[in-house]
Structures are given as structure tokens and as C-alpha cells.
Structure 1
Amino acid sequence: MIDHTSPSMVSLNPVKRTPDQLYNNRLYGISRFLWMRQIYSQIQKVKQHFQNFLSPQVYDINSFSWFSGFDIETCLAEIRETAVSLNLQLPLEIVKEIFDYACQTSCTEPKYPHRFWIDQVHQGSLPDGHSVVRALVDEPSNCPAIKQLIHDPILLEIVHRYLQYRPNRITAHLTWSIASNLPETEIQKIYPPTYYHYDIAGYNFMTVYFYITAVQDEYSGPHIMIEKSHLHKPLALLFSGRHPDDLVYRYYSRQQERIILGNAGFGFIQDPSCIHKIKPPVNNHRLLLQLRYS
């Protein structure tokens, strides 16, 4: 176990705004409409074209990729049709580097004022008795492997071609979902992503996900999504942030529900305007890396 001094567990340690809060712009709400996301993409495409013509700027893209040979054309076709493309894979040594960073770095939880470390969480609680269902690892972009991924040329090419413009913002999110014996209905009250929902992370956006811990069954915290829901949503779902399963099943076939499983290092690219959720882990904490582009 890592020996942590714990001033943050005793005295108030101010917590900076989380990356999630950076997206809390009410104007982004108009991106719930597909036509708005498409218009924004076209505006950015034209704007960047003239910016590059008048004042060329070098976009920070690495020359090396861990995904050499990945089929970009097939990936783009799959995302456009279903909202997701699978089968990215990180090398095991990179998975270990990210996992070790998450274990050795302090975490925060929304609405909890103290920092903590993941090995201080036992049976869903911190030493002060506070129940915790997720832990946001501080400053994930300080991890060299994650920094490399942020500037990966294959990922950036996919994002550029799907959004039709170079992303103006890239953020990294490294999140522990805490294993719990609480009923799922109780977890949903304090962990909103366990409800079906869709993301609003800018005026247009997409996300790359990597399982840093293996997710091989429904008890490991799988990402679950409704295929093709990025293309159409009924009004009953369009203006609500949380959707019970039975409401989603009224409008979408059960055959469209996709449970995404994978070994440690498995990755997928998604248009997160689709309807999706996390299944709360039961047996072990789940560690997920997200790269958000907008």
C-alpha cells in the first residue's frame, strides 16, 4: 500500500474545477440537436480553412502512434452508422503506466471537499465514513502515456474527419468507478452516468474510451449504449438528462443495446450524443480513460 500523509482527509483541501465542469456551458444545450452539431462543424471547417490560409498554425500531432494499421475508413463508417467503433488496443506496458499513475495520484469526487487516494477506499467508503462511488484522478494529462495519446496522429485523424474540423479542445479524464454492493437503484441516485443519458460536451464532440482495467462481464462496469441513437431521439428523451431503462426500451429495440466488453487496454471511439450508460461494477473497481474532443 502507498503511504499517504492525509492532510486532505483532515483539513479542507480546495479542489479545482473538474474537467466535467469545464463543459457546463448552458449554450452547449443546443447541441442536443443533430442539425446544430452539423452546422457547427461546417462553420468550424470554413473558419479553420481561412485561418490556416491567412495565418498557418502547426497543430500539435505526434509522428508516432500505438495504433499503426488501424482501419480509419472502416472506423468512420461504423461511427457514422452505429455511433461506435471498437478494437483499439493499448500495449500492456502503457496500460500499466496509466494504471500505476491512477494508483499513485490523488483523486476527487464531486461535492466532496477532500482529496483522497484509491487505496483509501474500502467497501465503498473513505476513512472518514464518506461513501464514494467514483474517483476522478487528478491531472491525468501529466501522465506521459496519456499525453502521448492526446496527440496521437491516428486518433486525431479520425476525430478530424468525423467532426470535419480540428478539435478546439481536448481533455483527458481518468475515472475510477467504485465497486459497490449497493443496489443499482441506490447507486443511480448518486452516480448519474449509471442512468441512460447522452453527453453534451461542446457544440460538437466525440470521445475515445480505454478500459485500463479489464471489463469482461456485467459485474465489471461495462459501457452500455444504444446503437444508432445519435441519429434520432424522440422528444421524450431529447430534453431529459436521465432515462430509465424501460423508457429507453419504448423507443429503441433491445437488439440496439450493446454491452461493450474488453480486456485491459481495449478501446473504442464513440459519438457520445448516442444514449449510453455505465453498469456499476460489483466485484472490482473499474478504471476508465476518456479523451474528449470538441
Structure 2
Amino acid sequence: MITNADVVAAAERLAGLVRRTPVAVVEPGGLSGAGWLKCEYMQHTGTFKARGALNRVLAAQAAGELDPQVGVVGASGGNAGLAFAYAASRCGVPATVFVPQTSSPVKVARLRQLGATVVQQGAEYAVAHEAALKHAADRGAVYCHAYDQPEMVAGAGTIGLELLADLPEGFDTVLVAVGGGGLMAGIATALAGRARVVAVEPVNAPSLHAALAAGGPVDVPVSGAAVDSLGARRVGEIAYQVAVANGVASVLVTDDELIEARRLLWADRRIAVEHGAAAALAALTSGAYRPAPGERVVVLACGANTDPSDL
């Protein structure tokens, strides 16, 4: 588990180093009942992941754990890897990123542009994860987990603190896409007692949904349109604990619903997000989540590392 104090400490560490992404007001009746759109796709590297990765690397550096010659290592379907590479470059150290062979060519190309050494291994995140752990043990690199490390989760939680500051009139619910669950866990911790968080997952990658049903994290098969960003086979321990402690519910959306929500964001707002980032809106447009009358809903658009040619 992490605490609100961890999120506040992350915000202090990250001050001036990450973008305070805007909150766009949605006109009445627009985007299927959303009140606001948190535009986190405008963050460094194109996703929220930059917050947690930079928090992790800065914390390791402050603790004297970061060897400047060896740097950091992590595994990622793409977005977390971009964040690891970005954080390493900001701190002047090398980064090695293991990615599944299914990773988006767009993301792999951007990893290399950021200076990371990229190793493509295995068909799923879990295989790349094991390879990264071995690299960390063999080389002494600081290991960055894509979603199940306190610093990663706390960094993501700074989004929740921004929402509280930027929407002083209050809000009731935040819809958040879930893969491994670090984003959900951070925001739910930051908003505990202030607003609820609803997790939205692809029906073909229901890691949190399955964990809540089973009473703990379990492996699930993953596939589908959003597998490159929401393809974690097992939800994080931190995410599961936070979800249970804060009563976070999970709703599921289909690939067709993700695709339609992504298309709507482009047609209505000229926002090009990846399929996984459209999950939060898909909960509304599909009816998987139906707000109560008067409920004030924030939709988090969390990533834009996509090929816009199929919009």
C-alpha cells in the first residue's frame, strides 16, 4: 500500500519537472455525460507514466542507489519504457528497456529516439519483465517496474492532487483505464475520501476485474486492441490492495467499444489517443458505467502514443 503522504512527497519531488496537464470542460451532453476531460496525454512522453518513472529514478538517485554508469532497467509494452528512458535522460544515466515483440513500432522507435537500449523479447509483458529482472540482478541497474512499485504509483497519484486543485467546485467520480493498475492505485490514494475511482478494463485483459473476483491477483490471458498498453497479465499487488481498501469497482469494455470511443475523441475533440487511453471514455459511451443523475464525472485520457492513420 501507499499513502497520501507518498503522493504528496512525489508531487514535491516532481515540481517543475512534469507538466501540469489541463482539465478541459465538456459541454452539457457532450462525450456521453462526462463533465471534464483530464488531458494527461499531453504529458512528457505522451502518457502519465513519466510521473512515476521520474519519481522512481529521482528517489533512487537521492538514496544513493543509482549507479550513473549502469543506470536503470525496466520492462514495458512501450509507454512505461518511454517514461523510463525519459527519466533516465533527465537524470543523465543510461536506460535499458525490455519490450514484448508485440510492442507498437511507433513506441519502439520513440524509445530509441530517447536514447534507450531496446531489447525485444517474448510475446507478452511477463516475459520481458523476467528478462529485465535478470538484467538488474546481473548488472546492478535500478529496476523500474511498469506499475507495481511505490514510487511509480505515487508519481501517478499526483494527477489526483492536480484534479483536486484544479476543480475546487468538486467532482464525484474519475474513470481510469487499468492495465497493471498503478494509475488507478495512485489516483484512488490521492482522492481517498474525496471522490471515487472507477476502473475500466478491456474485456480481453481484465486483470483487476479477475483479481477482485478471485480475492487476489491472478494471471489472466490478454489480447485485443489495447494489449500494447493495457496488456498486463496480472494486476499489481499495490493496485489490488488500494482497490479493495477504497472500494474501487471495475467495469469492462469490448474492443469495438474502445475503438468507437477513440474515434469519438478524434471526431469531437481532435484528440488522438491510443486504444487503451480511450477505455475510460468507452465506459460512458458503451453504457458500461452509467452515472447517477447529477453525478460529476472526470474522464482521464492518459496516453497518446498511437498511429493516427487508422482514426
Structure that is richer in helix per residue: 2
Q: Whose RCO is larger (CA < 8 A, sep 6+)?
A: 1
TM beyond 0.5: no
Q: TM-score, with normalisation over the residues of structure 2?
A: 0.28
Compare the two structures and name the one with the higher strand fraction: 1
